[in-house]
């Protein structure tokens, strides 16, 4: 089934007035196109109490003329034509046009399968054409057509693709029925609602990981909520009824015994008896064991982990392997691991088992940095501030701290290279360093930490040889960055003082420069 969707334009009504089947885009496409159905949408409405008595060919279409135009098209065509009367008031409002357009499509295709869809770009306003193009690249893949008197319908190639990140959530939700995610009771925030595409994707991937028993490898920089996602996978999996055991792999030199247990032989009264020590894997049986910083495991621990993963994946051992006992009373724990370094690079450097890497990385979840989740940063910050307000208790003023609009803008625009750890530390300093109820932009700026920069000889900057390799812009950036950081450190993070140290006109100029040369260029 091939269906054409089109708005009804002025030229289409003029074609009816002139009885010219090739005079309007819609009539031309229906006459010369290969469609089985056409859905025509009209937004032309008579104003209440005002009757259009102008019958000239140039008069704006009336409601009756629009209906007569569709009837005329139907009488001339063998295809089935549907007519939709829209309540659209502003034909140039993209949101309103989208809602009306997508509504007409859903009403038609809800019960139809395997449709070949086309959209007429030649009829209606510019906004209607834009919306058809967006829809054709997102929810309803289809052809975008324009009308030609000589050739009839012409297919237009839209020379780009659109991801959900570039389109309003109204156009294409990441997951039907899922437009937000709530994560609560974790180490960083009590409760936060996430609507950004990145967290919706992570939530989807965690749910998918919960459907199977294979190991999951979580990748993310320091300060990303890798442990939170590990716990989420546990709660979505068959192992949710068991314990969630979190193990910091870099915390012990005897980790292989702590992970897998050890066997000791005691001789008492002439009798030899094997004794097994308890292990993290034993504690996690029937649940999930989360190995944080798995890259720090020594060679012995890596070998044991690989061996036991292979046993767990065997038919006889699947979910039923017990490390220290021959019985199969307890289920094998679900394995989730994480690393804050590039594990593949560790493999290349022979610091990590290649075989183990492939066993662990078959299912990988990449946690984005906070800078990649702009739509969720403020939600997280507000949740953190709620926790800080609770932990402050009843101070002298008993004030509930809140962000000013300028502070919220700072939070949204700051790079947060330390991710959630840096955000949390900054909010604590900002909330606890003032008796005011409102946390200002200045409070936030003063509370951020500037990591010490690597000293660089002045000759390395100012006395470089001239030639092809010289990048003046790069040198200027380094000089600006150097003095901006120095002024920040000397002023104690007070921009009102820092700008004077640099001879800048005002404190806002200092912050703009700092954002440009330090934040965006990298520290």
What integer pLDDT is reported at residue 338 of this predicted model?
92
Q: At what angle do helices 374-392 and 419-432 cross, to 10 degrees?
A: 40
Domain assignments of the chain as residue spans, ordered by start: 2-166, 210-262+275-366, 452-523
Instruction: Give the integer Cα–Cα distance in Å for 402 and 448.
Output: 17
| 8 A C-beta contact, residue 40 and residue 79 | no
Instruction: Give the integer Cα–Cα distance in Å for 412 and 329.
Output: 51
What integer pLDDT is reported at residue 131 of this predicted model?
92
> What stretches in the chain show pLDDT beneath 50?
48-50, 52, 111-112, 163-178, 315-330, 523
| DSSP structure class, residue 515 | I
What integer pLDDT is reported at residue 260 of this predicted model?
76
| 8 A C-beta contact, residue 254 and residue 373 | no
- Which tens digits make up the pLDDT trace of 166-197? 443 333 333 444 455 555 555 555 555 666 77
Burial group, residue 50, by CB count within 10 angstroms (0-12, 13-18, 19+): exposed
Tell me: domain 2-166, CATH 1.10.260.40, correct? no
Instruction: Give the integer Cα–Cα distance in Å for 4 and 36.
Output: 8
Give the alpha-carbon dihedral of 399, 401, 404, 405, to 10 degrees: -130
Same topology, domains 2-166 and 210-262+275-366? Answer is: yes
Instruction: Give the integer Cα–Cα distance in Å for 417 and 423.
Output: 9
| 8 A C-beta contact, residue 146 and residue 118 | no
| DSSP structure class, residue 175 | B
- Which tens digits make up the pLDDT trace of 381-428? 988 898 888 887 655 556 788 898 888 888 887 878 888 888 999 999
Give the alpha-carbon dihedral of 395, 399, 404, 410, to 10 degrees: 30
Q: Domain 452-523 adopts which CATH fold? A: Arc Repressor Mutant, subunit A (1.10.10)
What integer pLDDT is reported at residue 114 of this predicted model?
67
Q: DSSP per residue over 304-331, as a string?
A: HHHHHHHHHHSTTTTTT--SS-SS--SP
> What is the total residue count of the chain?
523
What integer pLDDT is reported at residue 386 of this predicted model?
86
What integer pLDDT is reported at residue 120 of this predicted model?
93
What integer pLDDT is reported at residue 397 of this predicted model?
58
What integer pLDDT is reported at residue 166 of this predicted model?
40
Within 8 A by CB and 6+ apart from 519, the residues are 414, 415
Superfamily of domain 210-262+275-366: P-loop containing nucleotide triphosphate hydrolases (3.40.50.300)
Full-model pTM = 0.52
What integer pLDDT is reported at residue 324 of this predicted model?
42
Within 8 A by CB and 6+ apart from 262, the residues are 276, 277
Instruction: Using alpha carbons, select from 313, 514, 272, 338 the residue that is nearest to residue 413.
Output: 514
Rounded to whole angstroms, what are the CA distances from 354 to 221, 302, 343? 21, 10, 9
């Amino acid at each position: 089934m091939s269906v054409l969707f089109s708005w009804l334009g002025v030229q289409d009504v003029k074609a009816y007035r002139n009885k010219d089947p090739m005079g309007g885009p819609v009539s031309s496409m229906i006459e010369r196109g290969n469609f089985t159905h056409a859905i025509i949408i009209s937004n032309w409405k008579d104003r209440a109490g005002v009757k259009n008595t102008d019958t000239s060919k140039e008069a704006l279409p009336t409601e009756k003329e629009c209906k007569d135009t569709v009837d005329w098209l139907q009488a001339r065509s063998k295809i089935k034509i549907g007519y939709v009367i829209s309540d659209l008031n502003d034909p140039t409002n993209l949101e309103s046009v989208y809602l009306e357009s997508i509504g007409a499509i859903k009403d038609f295709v809800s019960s139809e399968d395997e449709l070949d869809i086309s959209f007429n770009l030649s009829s209606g306003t510019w906004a209607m054409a834009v919306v058809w193009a967006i829809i054709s690249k997102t929810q309803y893949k289809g052809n975008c057509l324009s009308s030609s008197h000589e050739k009839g319908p012409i297919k237009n190639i839209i020379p780009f693709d659109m991801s959900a990140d570039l389109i309003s959530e109204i156009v294409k939700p990441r997951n039907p029925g899922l437009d937000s995610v709530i994560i609560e009771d974790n180490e960083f925030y009590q409760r936060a609602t996430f609507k950004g595409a990145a967290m919706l994707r992570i939530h989807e991937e965690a749910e998918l990981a919960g459907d199977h028993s294979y190991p999951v490898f979580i990748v993310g920089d320091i300060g990303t909520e890798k442990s939170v996602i590990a716990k989420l996978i546990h709660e979505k999996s068959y192992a949710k009824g068991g314990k969630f055991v979190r193990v910091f792999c870099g915390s012990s030199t005897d980790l292989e015994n702590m992970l897998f247990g050890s066997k000791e032989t005691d001789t008492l009264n002439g009798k030899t008896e094997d004794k097994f020590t308890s292990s993290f894997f034993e504690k996690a049986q029937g649940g999930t064991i989360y190995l944080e910083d798995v890259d720090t495991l020594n060679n012995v621990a890596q070998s044991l982990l690989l061996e036991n993963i292979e046993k767990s994946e065997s038919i006889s051992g699947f979910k039923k392997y017990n490390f220290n006992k021959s019985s199969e009373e307890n289920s094998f724990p679900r394995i989730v691991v994480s690393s804050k370094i590039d594990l593949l690079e560790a493999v290349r450097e022979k610091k990590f088992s290649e075989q183990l890497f492939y066993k662990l990385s078959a299912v990988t979840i990449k946690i984005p940095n906070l800078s990649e989740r702009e739509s969720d940063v403020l939600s997280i910050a507000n949740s953190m501030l709620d926790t800080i307000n609770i932990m402050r208790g009843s101070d002298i003023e008993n004030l509930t701290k809140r962000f000013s609009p300028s502070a919220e803008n700072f939070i949204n625009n700051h790079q947060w290279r330390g991710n959630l750890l840096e955000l949390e530390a900054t909010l604590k300093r900002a909330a606890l360093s003032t008796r005011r109820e409102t946390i200002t932009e200045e409070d936030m700026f003063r509370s951020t930490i500037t990591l010490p920069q690597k000293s660089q000889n002045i000759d390395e900057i100012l006395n470089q040889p001239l030639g092809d390799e010289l990048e003046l812009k790069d040198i200027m950036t380094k000089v600006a960055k150097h003095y901006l950081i120095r002024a920040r450190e000397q002023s104690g993070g007070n921009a009102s003082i820092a700008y004077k140290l640099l001879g800048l006109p005002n404190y806002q100029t200092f912050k703009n420069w700092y954002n440009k040369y330090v934040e965006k260029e990298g520290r």
